[in-house]
Structure 1
């Protein structure tokens, strides 16, 4: 059986480098593909106290020429060296609306759909869903850049990615640095991966997602706040893959994120530490 590819869940938090599957040499013209569906519980936005439950698509495809699609990321493995991986990377970053959640490609909100169908809607529910009322809407963004991974051992790797294109004016940039333990076996059917990392952003990115302009302060409940660049967060993650059948797998993910620096001091940050959990079933084609 081919090496088990790491499953990346779309809309998952965490380092972009951790979403790049390990290079998997295959016969020319072949591919390896997983697709499935699950559910994710996550904060409405980084630092939010409220949570949202969303349907979560799972998709991972890798072709023999090095091209891969992994969740909301796509890239190309350009290196042929066994201990080094690098190449271009594209990722989709969900938008943020007045409720603090993105729309469209970041998953279908189950709680939102239920509430929309329920009448009458309570006033306190409306208030909780519009926690960012008065702030500018940030649309979905496509980030472009590159990734690089260095294997310390066959199961341990250091990773980095640098991506630009986030924020209101698409002038934000993010650097992700981390370390990952790949697919430690527990019996014949279980694999666990561990990851830890940090996110460094420029001022434009941090101001877009954690700052409050004077214009926004005038029409919202928040005071004006300038968020500078620098270290934005540290995060820890664990992924458990359970092989139910040669073609079926249950994949579950847990991530803890701790806001730091200007992001943690922002009036938008209701909680310094957030937890994201998800589980999905995937079929291998």
Structure 2
């Protein structure tokens, strides 16, 4: 159980991809559950220059039959081999409004009062862009342990975007919990994100109609490499039931995504901290 207690807890609604907890031998019919609350600060949307701080709900549940829930994702471990993990994966891709968040645009930069041609230059490139609705995604994950401390990870999810044909994937490597001191562990990760043309067009492209409405120049990105990520997570076990978990993730957009007229800052940091309770 100590191994599971040191796992990364997923950030609900963050830009982070779906999480796949490590497998853990458990008695039949049992489960492990963590729930908590904290705060997270990150960009308003992928490539935004401004930031938003919001509440950070934390949830992770794993059952002995391999089913798990981790933040806004869920899946099932199917492998009986302790060095290999694979199975189906489900996730929720959050919506993106003109404000870059899940809320209404309001009066960001007075966008609704400005001439169309000036909206993109008023501090909000998304003003006049079509809202992208919340979408369920389905796919799979595959992880391989190089050693007990190092794990290669990969996942693919399909269904994002208003046309539901966006596909994104990730490959990465993780250094699992290193003990810095009694009750203190540090985990490190790095990875690459990929997306197909439909995903890139939904989140980084500008159609002719959107260009007229927003003032952004038309832009049609191709699929390929989307971003590069590095991250660190520090866990402080306060008691057998309570833990303080904090994380830092740096993301840099790459390829055609980086050159989108919607991108104000290609490199961004997301930081979070939360208390979690083990049931």
What is the TM-score with the length of structure 1 in the denominator? Answer: 0.89
Instruction: Give unpaired runs (5+ residues) of structure 1.
Output: 104-111
Separation (CA, whole Å) in 1 of partners of 2:257 and 2:177: 32
Give the match for residue 10 of structure 2.
8
Give the match for residue 226 of structure 1.
220
Give the match for residue 70 of structure 1.
70
Instruction: Give unpaired runs (5+ residues) of structure 2.
Output: 113-118
Give the match for residue 94 of structure 1.
94
The 5 A counterparts of 1:20-31 are: 20-31=20-31
Residues 240-261 of structure 1: CA deviation (Å, up to 9, x unaligned): 1111111000111110001111
The 5 A counterparts of 1:208-227 are: 208-227=202-221
Instruction: Compare 211-220 and 122-131 and name the one that shifted more.
Output: 122-131
Separation (CA, whole Å) in 2 of partners of 1:125 and 1:279: 33
Separation (CA, whole Å) in 1 of partners of 2:12 and 2:188: 18
Separation (CA, whole Å) in 1 of partners of 2:192 and 2:273: 24
Are 1:272 and 2:269 matched, yes or no? no
Does the CA-based 8 Å contact 1:13-1:255 persist in structure 2? Answer: no
Residues 98-149 of structure 1: CA deviation (Å, up to 9, x unaligned): 001125xxxxxxxx9xxx9xxxx89669987854111110011111000000
Give the match for residue 107 of structure 1.
none
What is the TM-score with the length of structure 2 in the denominator? Answer: 0.91
Structure 1 position 6, deviation (Å)? 2.9
1:281 maps to which of 257, 275, 279: 275
Separation (CA, whole Å) in 1 of partners of 2:216 and 2:2: 53
Give the match for residue 43 of structure 2.
43
Separation (CA, whole Å) in 2 of partners of 1:158 and 1:13: 20
Instruction: Compare 124-133 and 45-54 and name the one that shifted more.
Output: 124-133
1:154 maps to which of 144, 148, 156: 148
Does the CA-based 8 Å contact 2:125-2:262 persist in structure 1? Answer: no
Separation (CA, whole Å) in 2 of partners of 1:213 and 1:282: 43
Alignment: residue pair count: 269
Give the match for residue 180 of structure 1.
174
Does the CA-based 8 Å contact 1:150-1:158 persist in structure 2? Answer: yes
Give the match for residue 59 of structure 1.
59
SS in structure 1 of the partner of residue 186 of structure 2: strand
Give the match for residue 142 of structure 1.
136
Does the CA-based 8 Å contact 2:35-2:59 persist in structure 1? Answer: yes
Question: Structure 2 vs 1, CA of residues 196 and 265 (structure 1 numbering), >3 Å: closer, same or farther?
Answer: same
Separation (CA, whole Å) in 2 of partners of 1:265 and 1:145: 28
Separation (CA, whole Å) in 2 of partners of 1:135 and 1:123: 15
The 5 A counterparts of 1:233-252 are: 233-252=227-246
